[in-house]
Amino acid sequence: MSFLNPLFLIALLTVAVPLLIYLLNLRKPKRIRFSTLAFFESLKTTALKRIRLKRWLLLAIRMLAIIALVIAASRPFLPSGFGWANESEPKVIAVLIDNSPAMSQVDREGPYIEQALNIAAEVLEMADSDDRLLIDVTHGESMNTPFLTAGGALGRLGDIEPVNKGGYTGSRLIRLEQRLREAREPNKIIYYITSGQEAQLSTIEGVPGDPSSVNLQVLKVGDAPPSNTGFENVEVQVSGIGQGSEISLRAVLANYGAQIATNQFISFYVDGELLSQQPFSIEQGETEEFLFTLPETDNLSVPVELLIEGDELTFDNRFYAAIQMPELRRILVVDERTSGRIFNSYLKPLFDIASSESERFEISFSDIRELEVQSIYDYDAIVLDGIRNVPDYLSEALIDHVQAGAGLLFMPAAEGNMTSYNRLLDFSEAGRYTGINGSYGSFESVDRMAAPVEGHPVLESIFEKSDDESIRLNEPELFYYYDIEAPSGSLSFSILNTRTGRSLLQEVQVGRGRIIYSAIGSDPGWSNFPIKPFFAPLFFRTMEYLVQGEGAMLNNHRLGEPFRTVLNLNTQNIELEKDGDVIAPQIRQTFQGVEISYSAEEWTAGWLNISAEGKDDILYSVNQNAMESRLNTLDKTGIEDLFLNYFSSVNVIKVSENRAEELTTLQKSSFGREIWFWFIIAAILLLFAESLVSKIYKAETIT
């Protein structure tokens, strides 16, 4: 037995009131002497015993009456399993139907979704006229119905079908449980009709624990052996950097079925044109990897489709991939053009050539005295070339910009202020300069650059060689250089070193961006490096590396999650276009840019286009969660173990051909009834018994 208003049980403390009154009325009798005690001996054996019995009976009756009234106020409720309880009590019922893509499977009983809808109809038809019902689905937009009659709920079943949309099983269960828990009816139950797909059920979390007034009944349909091939993972791969880089799409296919997947093909489409088709055969539970190279293009967004052919279950056979190509990158070179200063940077002619010949870079130059700090945020990378002193206000702005994703290349000046340099590096914990070696402009070698070691993208993009061939070049001599104390950790990397083991060119990742700083400057007074053939390609590739950001990337949204992205825009006039519908998203200004968000519950797999004032359209691909492709199911015990973490009463049945009989038995075992009126009757009978006791056991009666 449970209680619908358990707080009233606190009133049981009032049971002590009659007992206290009884104890306070006890008096110790006075001793009086009489000539004979025969009369009192007779009284002791008759009237006094009856008086004492009356008092105890009245005390017990009054205490039991109080207990009965308190329990009645607490609304006692007999759950299922008691012979006296029946389904005649008013009920509030929720039916949650699994309409995931997996419900398009077919077994000997027919399509899973048809089985589920037939069972839902039978459940609804068993409802009484005074019952209230809710109905909802696990995938796509919520039906969000008010409480319905059985007829109204039955009319909604015709709108339900398997959809290739996001799954929201956990949140829908939470919402239904909350609405039922707040209802006034004593009987509350959720019927969840599903195929029991393990990948879907295992993601359920956040359902409130111990909702004791709500029962969960899971009706499992379907027993077809799983047979499906799907995409386990798809990602963009870039080999090399800059104009020589090659962009590929890596796809991993998995056989989620119970037998070998054979005589199937994967096709590769770019902008609707078939470029490649490969056959494959994958053993049960195994995966196979495919790599497709994208052709060169001037487009910033490339729509790619991967299609599996030959797989009977088709809902997950197409993967949409919107590949965002690198945009035009802007670089700002900041130097110091002081009158009378002798400084001959060898980077400047390199940047001049890159700016005039490369269509990917737009390079601007500025004297530090004319630099407006706010303007640095308009550039993807900043180069500080030979600056003698870096002001703190500029250092702080530079580090903020780098943390947001920009790149910074720092080349020191011979007469530079090492303290200001270190303040710049300290702001980002990127290391520091600790000392000086040699003499500037002496042309006397104090060290040499060590041979480059493979492992960094900048170096790998410069040298073309076989795997067993080492890098060989005429290493530059160093006349004058700073000692670098690099930070510890995996976010720091020494690109070049000296022969004595000191860092010559150091990279540190800061937030989403990178800082590369050098132990030598860009003019010949530091070393003979600027006149070596290695100098120009090294710093050109370094510049490409710093400005490429994430390079080519996959703009992909996964169904079942809210859509959210951040764009570097100065406008809030933004629209989403999905399947011909124009959507106004929620827009919020952040430090990183404009954050766009939308619930996306109604979206299907396909293409999404983002239009913003003053910016080229951005293409996104929309795909189902890869877990939807895993069709293996949980058995009855597995489902019960899962849901018992969230519901105190869980019953799971595998629906068979005799489902009408099973549902009738399930209904009778699912509901209880309120019995508060029993305790009201008991309290009335106890009060009547008190009157009888008072009349029968009179204090003056003597036998």
pLDDT computed for residue 276 by the predictor? 94
Is 471's pLDDT higher than 60?
Answer: yes
Is the Cβ–Cβ distance between 71 and 681 less than 8 Å?
no
Mean of the pLDDT values across residues 638-666? 76
Is the Cβ–Cβ distance between 572 and 587 less than 8 Å?
yes
Distances (CA, A) of 353 to 177, 356, 532, 546: 67, 5, 17, 18
Residues 400 and 503 in one domain: yes
Residues 407 and 422 in one domain: yes
pLDDT computed for residue 287 by the predictor? 95
Is 83's pLDDT higher than 50?
Answer: no
pLDDT more than 90, % of the chain: 46
Mean of the pLDDT values across residues 402-418? 91
pLDDT computed for residue 102 by the predictor? 93
pLDDT category of residue 72 using cuts at 50, 70 and 90 = confident
Within 10 Å of residue 356's Cβ, how many Cβ atoms?
9
257 part of a folded domain:
no
Is the Cβ–Cβ distance between 260 and 280 less than 8 Å?
no
Is the Cβ–Cβ distance between 543 and 354 less than 8 Å?
yes
pLDDT category of residue 702 using cuts at 50, 70 and 90 = very low
Neighbouring residues of 69: CB distance < 8 A, sequence distance ≥ 6: 679, 680, 683
pLDDT computed for residue 425 by the predictor? 93
Is 42's pLDDT higher than 80?
Answer: no
User: Domain of 97?
Assistant: 91-226+631-671
Q: What is the DSSP string of 629-668?
A: G---B--HHHHHHHHTTT-SEEEEEE--TTHHHHHHHHHH
Residues 220 and 339 in one domain: no
pLDDT category of residue 332 using cuts at 50, 70 and 90 = very high
End-to-end CA distance of the chain: 47
Mean of the pLDDT values across residues 540-553? 76
Residues 559 and 590 in one domain: yes
DSSP conformational letter for 77: E
Model pTM? 0.63
Is the Cβ–Cβ distance between 672 and 78 less than 8 Å?
yes
Mean of the pLDDT values across residues 358-365? 78
Report the C-alpha dihedral over residues 546, 551, 555, 556, rounded to 10 degrees. -100
520 part of a folded domain:
yes
Mean of the pLDDT values across residues 418-431? 92
Residues 122 and 140 in one domain: yes
What CATH number has the domain bearing residue 462?
3.40.50.880
Residues 366 and 404 in one domain: yes
Weakest mean pLDDT among 561-575, 603-617, 656-670: 656-670
Task: In whole angstroms, give the CA distance from residue 257 to residue 643.
Answer: 26
The tokens for 598 are 């939308």
Is 327's pLDDT higher than 50?
Answer: yes
Amino acid letter for position 10 = I
Residues 387 and 444 in one domain: yes
277 part of a folded domain:
no
Residues 56 and 168 in one domain: no
Q: What is the DSSP string of 335-403?
A: E---TT-----SHHHHHHHHHHH-SSEEEEEEEGGG--GGGGGG-SEEEEEEES---HHHHHHHHHHHH
Nearest Cα to Cα of residue 117 among 168, 191, 226, 189: 191
Number of structural domains (the chain) is 4
Is 324's pLDDT higher than 60?
Answer: yes
Q: How many CA atoms lie within 13 A of 519 on its CB side?
A: 31
Mean of the pLDDT values across residues 508-515? 89
Q: What is the DSSP string of 57-76?
A: HHHHHHHHHHHHHHHHHT-E
pLDDT category of residue 143 using cuts at 50, 70 and 90 = very high
What CATH number has the domain bearing residue 585?
2.60.40.10
Weakest mean pLDDT among 18-27, 331-340, 351-360, 448-457: 18-27
What CATH number has the domain bearing residue 659?
3.40.50.410
Q: What is the DSSP string of 36-62?
A: --HHHHHHHHTHHHHHHHHHHHHHHHH
